[in-house]
Amino acid sequence: MQFKDQLGFIGQHMKRNKLRVATTILAATMGCAFLIVLASVGFGLHKTLSDDILENRTVTKIEVPGKEDSDSVITPQEAEAMRGIPHVKAVAERSRPQAEGEARLGERSAYADLVFVQYGNEEKAGLALSDGAMPAAEGEVLVGYHFAQSLVTEEEQENAAEGEELDGFAGSLVGQTFEIELKPFEGEGEPVIREFTVAGVTEEPAKDWMMDSSIYADASWSKIIAKSLGTEETPREVLVYADELQYVEGITEKLKKDGYYVYSVTEELGSMNMFFTLLKAGLIFVGTIAILIASIGIFNTMTMAVTERTREIGVMKAIGAQPKLIQRLFLMESAAIGIIGTVLAVIISYGISMLANWLVPMIVMSSLGEEETGDFNILISVIPWQLVAISAAISIGVAMISGWRPARKATQIDVIQALRQEL
Amino acid sequence: MIEINTLSHSFAIGKKGNERKIPVLEEITLHVKQGEIAAILGKSGSGKSTLLNILAGFMVPESGVVAVGGQEISSLKESEMADFRLKNFGFIFQSFQLMPGLNAFENIELPLKIKGMKAPERRAVVEKLMMEVGLSEVASHYPNELSGGQQQRVSIARALITNPPVILADEPTGSLDSETEQEILDLIRSLNRNLGVTFVIITHDDEVAGIANRQYRLHDGKLVKGVQRHAI
């Protein structure tokens, strides 16, 4: 029998028992929708937390604080070797003086977070400017976007203590010369005072809550200042930047293998992914129970269909239908119930998911007394295609298993007994 | 065409382990030539329906040989037998056995669907046959909208649609009035004459058996008489 005719055949039978088939499809739909919606909560929370982690940091950045086997610093040669790892975009080396610093510009002063960097590598890693240019002359530095804001007068500082907002330095800092006084953390060395000129100001950080008030001086200053302070040069902090997020895991593994302490976003996501994988598997398991309950309905419907159609099956067998064909027709009918139920369930689940994602944050906000959801970007439910595929496979698979026994029963019908049945 | 040699069959009654066998067919031997109409006559309980069921492959005989067109059928597996039936047999039943959810056209078309013929080809074959048996007017009618005679015509057309060499008919006029019975018998006769199809008719009615070239009479499972009334 041609496949098209088989479809027509089961379509005719389903039409003849509309109500029974419709209620069975409804049960299959409810079971499958329950599974999808339940598991979608796991997917939603996972996505919310993953996004939170990914949004709050530079995802392609891999921090390499040191080496596992010793306290030795990462040498420039080792940093150079890291540049050779495939898909490494840039390797930035940073260090800080072992001293507390204060920056002064006229009557304004600020806490000075002096960072020694290699401008070329920082540029490769994505450092961009909002004002000015990269330092070209000796004594030129870059300052963070919020550095100007942190330069305050004593009066402003007192007012800030009373709750007033800090205005900081108004106007452009580019071309301004300021001095830094560095006092060593340990020992009784004399403070060191140096003058620097602002060549450029870095770009505003991507997130509102991020502050960048650092002073970025060339790495050559590291030795000079350490000598002046009488302290040792601090170990370099190495930041490795990958081309894209997908390569972060591979580079992280390679660096670990090479004996470095490594910390990247994939490390943070790894343990969380494991937890959510287990949670999602658990939710899918619970949801599957609903489908199994629905399968009882499919089994009943198909058993009744076989019983009602005994005479017709007998006629078909008498005129030459293969037992396999009879079995296939009934299996297709139960699969059709599963497929229709799954399609409806997917549509309904997407609807419920959208409604939940719209409604739940509103309810939470109103319960917290807030009007706007603002940065509250929580996703209650997410339905990825993988969840749809898993649910469809379970739902249709269970429907076919439910139809298996009745279909077998149909093939075993005795033609003589069947033909004796009254119309 | 059909060779039945020393065919015997019995039914077991009673509980398992304490069964009693009742013979229903004993040492039956009969032959039907191609293009003949053979009638198997007998009263109720004579074993004629059992004989038809064995001949159709619905039942496996205890002993004996049943061959159709040179093929020994009692040794065929279920799926092989289904295929054999589709290619070699057409069935006409006393109670028509039409599918209630299919109209006349679709009922006749069913064996071709099972055979896997494509729709346009099917349509042409069915329309031609419906015209030949006088059913074109009721093609879209469902069985419950047809008279007994029309239903049996649909049943005959369904039996003929795959061009089988043998038609097995079980009391083909048993549910019809005498006028319609005559119409159906005339139709069988003309189909036999024009298409050369072999008919095996099971009946208790001498008038129905009257159209046969060859008659066999069964009594209590035994063949009591085999008469060739007239040559093909």
Over 70: is that where the pLDDT of A372 sits?
no
Task: Report the pLDDT averaged over residues A169-180.
Answer: 88
Over 70: is that where the pLDDT of A325 sits?
yes
In terms of average pLDDT, the best of A243-257, A343-357, B122-136 is A343-357
Q: Which residues of B touch A1 (CB under 8 A)?
A: 113-116
- Using one digit for the tens of pLDDT, what is the confidence trace for A105-154? 888 888 888 999 888 888 888 888 898 999 988 889 999 998 988 888 88
**CB-CB under 8 Å, B158 with A4:** no
Over 70: is that where the pLDDT of A18 sits?
yes
**CB-CB under 8 Å, A318 with B99:** no
| Residue A202 sits in the same domain as residue A245 | yes
Say how many domains are in chain B.
Answer: 1
- Using one digit for the tens of pLDDT, what is the confidence trace for A208-233? 777 888 999 998 888 888 888 877 77
DSSP code for A95: B
| pLDDT, position A423 | 46
> What would the two tokens of residue A301 be?
């419907």
Among A265, A291, A320, which residue terminates a domain? A265
Q: At what angle do helices A18-55 and A385-411 cross, to 10 degrees?
A: 150
- Using one digit for the tens of pLDDT, what is the confidence trace for A64-92? 887 776 666 777 788 888 888 888 888 88
What letter represents residue A225's amino acid? I
Helix (H, G, I), strand (E, B) or coil at B63: strand
**CB-CB under 8 Å, B79 with A324:** yes
Mean pLDDT rounded to a whole number for chain A: 85
Over 60: is that where the pLDDT of A179 sits?
yes
Mean pLDDT rounded to a whole number for chain B: 86
| Residue A140 sits in the same domain as residue A256 | yes
Over 90: is that where the pLDDT of B108 sits?
yes
| Residue A99 sits in the same domain as residue A224 | yes
Q: φ, ψ for residue A243 (rounded to 5)?
A: -60, -50
| pLDDT, position A419 | 84
Closest by Cβ to A2, choosing from B78, B101, B118: B118
Checking A320-324 for CB contacts under 8 A at 24+ apart, the result is A320/B82, A320/B83, A320/B85, A320/B86, A320/B87, A320/B89, A320/B111, A320/B114, A320/B115, A320/B162, A321/A1, A321/B82, A321/B86, A321/B114, A322/B79, A322/B82, A322/B83, A323/A411, A323/B78, A323/B79, A323/B82, A324/A411, A324/B79
| pLDDT, position A250 | 87
Helix or strand run (H / E) with residue A143: strand A140-143
Contact assessment for residue A297 and residue A406, using Cβ atoms and an 8 Å cutoff:
no
- Using one digit for the tens of pLDDT, what is the confidence trace for B161-173? 888 899 998 888 8
Contact assessment for residue A262 and residue A63, using Cβ atoms and an 8 Å cutoff:
yes
Contact assessment for residue A360 and residue A332, using Cβ atoms and an 8 Å cutoff:
no
Q: Confidence band (pLDDT; 50, 70, 90) for A200?
A: very high
The alpha carbon of A304 is separated from its chain's Cα centroid by a whole number of angstroms, namely: 48
| pLDDT, position B226 | 63
Q: Tell me how far apart the alpha carbons of residues B114 and A139 are, in angstroms, rounded to a whole number.
A: 92
B43 touches chain A (CB under 8 A): no
| pLDDT, position A4 | 87
- Using one digit for the tens of pLDDT, what is the confidence trace for A86-96? 888 888 888 88
B121 touches chain A (CB under 8 A): no
- Chain A residues with CB under 8 Å of a chain B CB are 1-2, 4-5, 9, 12-13, 16, 311-312, 314-325, 414-416, 419, 423
| pLDDT, position A51 | 76
Whether ipTM tops 0.90, in short, is no
Among A212, A247, A265, which residue terminates a domain? A265
Q: Which residues of A touch B91 (CB under 8 A)?
A: 318-319
Q: Tell me how far apart the alpha carbons of residues B228 and B38 are, in angstroms, rounded to a whole number.
A: 9
- Using one digit for the tens of pLDDT, what is the confidence trace for B117-152? 898 999 999 998 888 888 888 889 999 999 888 888
Residue-range definition of the domain harbouring residue B152 = 2-228
Q: Tell me how far apart the alpha carbons of residues A28 and A336 are, in angstroms, rounded to a whole number.
A: 11
DSSP code for B21: E
Q: CA dist A120 to A54, A140, A221, Å?
A: 26, 15, 15
Ranges A177-186, A310-319, A361-370: which has the least confidence: A361-370
| Residue A297 sits in the same domain as residue A362 | yes
Say how many domains are in chain A.
Answer: 2
Residue-range definition of the domain harbouring residue A215 = 61-265
| Residue A124 sits in the same domain as residue A243 | yes
| pLDDT, position A349 | 93
Among A265, A291, A308, which residue terminates a domain? A265
| pLDDT, position A71 | 63
Contact assessment for residue A380 and residue A37, using Cβ atoms and an 8 Å cutoff:
no
| pLDDT, position A57 | 56
Q: Tell me how far apart the alpha carbons of residues B94 and B172 are, in angstroms, rounded to a whole number.
A: 5
Q: Which residues of A touch B87 (CB under 8 A)?
A: 320
CATH value at residue B172: 3.40.50.300
Task: Report the pLDDT averaged over residues A310-335.
Answer: 90
| pLDDT, position B111 | 92
Contact assessment for residue A102 and residue A112, using Cβ atoms and an 8 Å cutoff:
yes
Q: Confidence band (pLDDT; 50, 70, 90) for A55?
A: low
Q: Tell me how far apart the alpha carbons of residues B36 and A387 are, in angstroms, rounded to a whole number.
A: 66
Closest CA to A177 of A137, A140, A219: A140
| Residue A214 sits in the same domain as residue A290 | no
| Residue A153 sits in the same domain as residue A215 | yes
- Which chain B residue shows the shortest CA-CA distance from A14? B101
Over 70: is that where the pLDDT of A375 sits?
no
**CB-CB under 8 Å, B116 with A2:** yes
